[in-house]
Amino acid sequence: MLTSFKRILTFAVNDFGRNKGISIASIFVLTVTIMLVTGLFFFQGLTGYLTSQIQDKIDVTAYFKSGTAEQDILNVKDEIIKTTPSIKNVEYISQDQALATFNANHKDNPVLAKALQEVGDNPFLPSLNITTSGDPLQYAQIANVLQTSDFSKLIEKVDFSQKKDTIEKVYSITTNINIFGLIFGAILILVAILVVFNTIKLAIENSKEEISAMRIVGASNWFIRGPFVIQGIIYGIFAFIICFLISGLFAYFMASKISVVLPGFDMFDFFLANWWIFVLIQLGFGIAVGAGSALIVVKKHLEV
Amino acid sequence: MIKFDNVTKIYQPGTIVLQNISFEIKDGEFVSIVGKSGAGKTTLVHLILGLEIPTYGEIYFDGLNLNDASPAKIQEIRRRIGGIYQDYKLLPKKTVYENVAYILQVEGKNNEEIKREVPKVLETIGLKDKIDNFPDQLSGGEQQRLAVARALINHPDTIIADEPTGNLDPYNSYEVISLLQKLNQTGKTVILSTHDREIVNKLGKRVITLEGGKILRDEAAGRFII
């Protein structure tokens, strides 16, 4: 068994070296297709970051009536967290905090400072700033909590209705991007697999006479197909090494350019944080498609 | 040893290549299968090797019905048959040494035995100095000699030669036929498929004549008459 495996491995390595043209062509096609799949993963990381950034910027603020007790506001906060556990953040901003933030933001504007002095009292209302995942359903749940009779009497106003359209639009855009990415990705991967399959099919068709000679002398099916499958694996490994290096270099050199368009997104950090997923996708895809194609094509030639 | 029982082979759509063929070849026999091109000689050889299955009828090899044989059993039978073919059926991406060694590797022989046996056989057929050449670097005669070496390396009990002299000059043809005769004298069963009248008539052995997919004659000391 071990001797047979060693022999199959030797045949595969010899054939790989002796058919340089076919080997290089197969690795090239496999590399291009793996890069397409890798590109999709980069795209997914990019859109994921973009949508989370947009969603983070959309929040709802509930303003409470002046003089509402802090404990009552915190009760509302607890209720929101209880009814919507997947909510991202609920922040309580007291009247004093609101005033301090306003002053800090407008310290260079004497007109506003004077207007505030004339009002005399702190005109700001205590509030709860609510950030969700962007799902309109979460906003509806929050709106339900705020509208219950116990809480609605404490609330001066909620800016939810003013943002409703924007929230729904952003949510629909992000959902569409994900669906489009999924469909586009699936089509691209299918085309890529077909291209690799056909390249390997052509390479093996070239060995049709050889397979026929091997059958005539009584070689077992695994003794015949083994070297082709292992060659497929070797193509996959080589393509993976090339793709992994290209991905790393691409992420490193493009990081600064992409962060100009998308501040806060570091492509190289994304690559480093997900390097094992890159290995898994590239190596898995390369080996599975390379060896799988060889297995299917040789099987056809082994049938009586 | 080999028995055809009412065998018919039909290729789609409806091309009858062999029709109701029945004969038996005993151990140690030398049988020539003759006929014009397209008479069904090569199909008959493929049926013995299990490379094709009959549409009707049964083929037996040492009592085993090939229709019921498992793939492993068919492969074992192929290993017991040494094949010499018009197109040599060599492995083009393997060297002379590797082509011969492949047969022993398929049989699971150990590396020491392979290293010992292969150079010996290559020396006998005069190809020792071309051990690292590839088949396309050999002449037609050398390729056929390599095919013969490959067919004999594992001492098979049956030799099938399908038009072995088709691509050879008279000198090389004579060498191959002499070798087949010698092998038969050592007790091996030889099945020679050919359309070479002169060779068959010189042999004076059993001749099965095919025409239009049917057996026209089966004579113990036959001649090529079509």
Residues A220-244: tens digit of each pLDDT: 999 999 999 999 999 999 999 999 9
Question: Which sign, positive or negative, has the C-alpha torsion A37, A42, A45, A48?
Answer: negative
Distance CA B39, CA B18 (A): 8
Distance CA A164, CA A141 (A): 13
Among the listed residues B155, B159, B144, the one whose alpha carbon sits nearest the alpha carbon of residue B120: B155
| B114, B142 contact by CB (below 8 A) | no
Non-local (6+) Cβ contacts of A289 within 8 A are: A30, A33, A192, A193, A196, A197, A236
Disruptive mutation site among B105, B110, B146, B150 for chain A (greatest number of A CBs within 10 Å): B105
Check B108 against A3: CB less than 8 A apart.
yes
Q: CA B57: distance to chain centroid?
A: 22
Distance CA B217, CA B211 (A): 9
Query: Which regions of B12-65 does DSSP assign to beta strands (E)?
Result: 15-25, 30-34, 56-61, 64-65
Nearest CA in chain B to A216: B78
Among the listed residues B14, B11, B69, the one whose alpha carbon sits nearest the alpha carbon of residue B42: B11
Non-local (6+) Cβ contacts of A17 within 8 A are: A23
**Tokens coding A205:** 């068709």
Look at residue B143 and tell me if it is in a domain. yes
Check B53 against A304: CB less than 8 A apart.
yes
pLDDT in tens, A66-104: 888 888 888 888 888 887 777 778 888 888 888 888 888
Residues 84-103 (B) with a CB less than 8 A from some CB of A: 85, 89-94, 102-103
What is the rounded end-to-end Cα distance, in angstroms, of chain B? 28
Question: Is the domain of A81 the same as that of A139?
Answer: yes
Non-local (6+) Cβ contacts of B197 within 8 A are: B224
| A136, A160 contact by CB (below 8 A) | no
Report, as an integer, the average pLDDT of A193-202.
Answer: 88
Question: Is the domain of A48 the same as that of A73?
Answer: no
Select the residue of A4, A14, A218 nearest B78 (Cβ to Cβ): A218
Name the residue with higher pLDDT: A170 or A75.
A75
Question: Is the domain of A130 the same as that of A200?
Answer: no
Look at residue A158 and tell me if it is in a domain. no
Report, as an integer, the average pLDDT of A114-119.
Answer: 79
Name the residue with higher pLDDT: A138 or A300.
A300
Question: Is the domain of A177 the same as that of A247?
Answer: yes
Average pLDDT in chain A = 85
Look at residue B114 and tell me if it is in a domain. yes
Question: Is it true that the peptide bond before B92 is cis, omega within 30 degrees of 0?
Answer: no
B52 touching A, CB under 8 A?
A: yes
Please say if the pLDDT value at position A193 is more than 90: no
Check A218 against B91: CB less than 8 A apart.
no
Check A217 against B71: CB less than 8 A apart.
no
Distance CA A298, CA A233 (A): 14
Distance CA B28, CA B205 (A): 12
pLDDT of A232 reads 92
Question: Is the domain of A132 the same as that of A183?
Answer: no
Choosing from A87, A118, A153, the residue where a domain stops is A153
- C-alpha distance from B110 to closest chain A C-alpha (Å): 8
Question: What share of chain A in percent tops pLDDT 70?
Answer: 95
Report, as an integer, the average pLDDT of B123-137.
Answer: 92
A148 touching B, CB under 8 A?
A: no
Look at residue B107 and tell me if it is in a domain. yes
B136 touching A, CB under 8 A?
A: no
Question: Is the domain of A179 the same as that of A48?
Answer: yes
B129 is in which domain, residue-wise?
90-155
CATH number of the domain enclosing A97: 3.30.70
Average pLDDT in chain B = 91
Q: CA A151: distance to chain centroid?
A: 39
Look at residue B224 and tell me if it is in a domain. no
Report, as an integer, the average pLDDT of B92-115.
Answer: 94
**Tokens coding A230:** 């292992």
Please say if the pLDDT value at position A143 is more than 80: no
Question: What share of chain B in percent tops pLDDT 90?
Answer: 65
Question: Is the domain of A34 the same as that of A182?
Answer: yes
Among the listed residues A173, A180, A196, A176, the one whose alpha carbon sits nearest the alpha carbon of residue A36: A196
Look at residue B34 and tell me if it is in a domain. no
Number of domains in chain A: 2
Choosing from A125, A153, A181, the residue where a domain stops is A153
Distance CA B216, CA B218 (A): 7
Look at residue B40 and tell me if it is in a domain. no
Please say if the pLDDT value at position A163 is more than 70: no
Distance CA A7, CA A226 (A): 10
Non-local (6+) Cβ contacts of A230 within 8 A are: A8, A9, A12, A291
Question: Is the domain of A190 the same as that of A245?
Answer: yes
| B20, B180 contact by CB (below 8 A) | no
Nearest CA in chain B to A220: B75
Question: Is the domain of A121 the same as that of A235?
Answer: no
| B140, B172 contact by CB (below 8 A) | yes
**Tokens coding B185:** 């004298």
Distance CA B186, CA B209 (A): 26
Name the residue with higher pLDDT: B226 or B177.
B177
Check A210 against B91: CB less than 8 A apart.
yes
pLDDT of A27 reads 93
Choosing from A93, A120, A153, the residue where a domain stops is A153
Distance CA A181, CA B34 (A): 66
pLDDT of B125 reads 86
A23 touching B, CB under 8 A?
A: no
Nearest CA in chain B to A8: B105
A179 touching B, CB under 8 A?
A: no
Per CB-CB distance under 8 Å, the chain B contacts of A303 are: none
Question: Is the domain of A38 the same as that of A113?
Answer: no
Question: Is the domain of A29 the same as that of A178?
Answer: yes
Distance CA A222, CA A5 (A): 10
Provide φ and ψ at B156, rounded to 5°. Answer: -70, 155
Check A220 against B75: CB less than 8 A apart.
yes
Look at residue A131 and tell me if it is in a domain. yes
pLDDT in tens, A11-45: 999 999 998 998 999 999 999 989 988 988 888 88
A139 is in which domain, residue-wise?
66-153
Number of domains in chain B: 1
Question: Is the domain of A46 the same as that of A114?
Answer: no
Look at residue B104 and tell me if it is in a domain. yes
Distance CA A286, CA A240 (A): 6
Distance CA A131, CA A147 (A): 18
SS3 content of chain A, % helix, strand, coil (to 5): 80, 5, 15
Tell me the pLDDT band of B104, cut-offs 50, 70 and 90: very high
